[in-house]
Amino acid sequence: MRTVSIFKNARNQAIRIPKDMEFEGVTELEIRREGDTLLLRPVRPTWLSFASEPHADADFLVERPAVVEPGRFDLPGADDDARTESDR
């Protein structure tokens, strides 16, 4: 366990996180009090934030290699699922 100093920053208390304990690549922390303990953890993107990310370019994967070998999924009766109930 390490000890750090608390100082005033405007009207807030603040601490400096030692270099060897820094949250690398993180710009925001979640803070929670449990009794007399403060817990800090990085705020991570959620799946909801994924939708706000830039979309792929319009030509992304326009030309792509065939990944399924021809004839590999040709199963007898596979087209039967395409029939409607009235056909059965």
Q: Looking at the whole model, is its pTM more than 0.85?
A: no
Query: How confident is the model at residue 82, as a pLDDT?
Result: 55
Domain ranges of the chain: 21-66
* CA–CA separation, 88 and 84 (whole Å): 7
* CB distance 17 to 29 below 8 Å: no
* CA–CA separation, 7 and 43 (whole Å): 24
Query: How confident is the model at residue 32, as a pLDDT?
Result: 96
Q: Is the pLDDT of residue 85 over 70?
A: no
The whole-angstrom distance between residue 51's C-alpha and the CA centroid of its chain comes to 11
Q: Which helix (H) or strand (E) holds 48?
A: helix 47-50
Query: How confident is the model at residue 81, as a pLDDT?
Result: 53
Query: How confident is the model at residue 21, as a pLDDT?
Result: 94
**Where are any strands of DSSP class E within the chain?**
6-9, 12-15, 29-34, 37-42
Query: How confident is the model at residue 10, as a pLDDT?
Result: 95
Which tens digit of pLDDT belongs to each residue from 22-80? Answer: 999 888 999 999 999 999 999 887 888 777 778 888 888 888 777 777 767 666 766 65
Query: How confident is the model at residue 63, as a pLDDT?
Result: 84
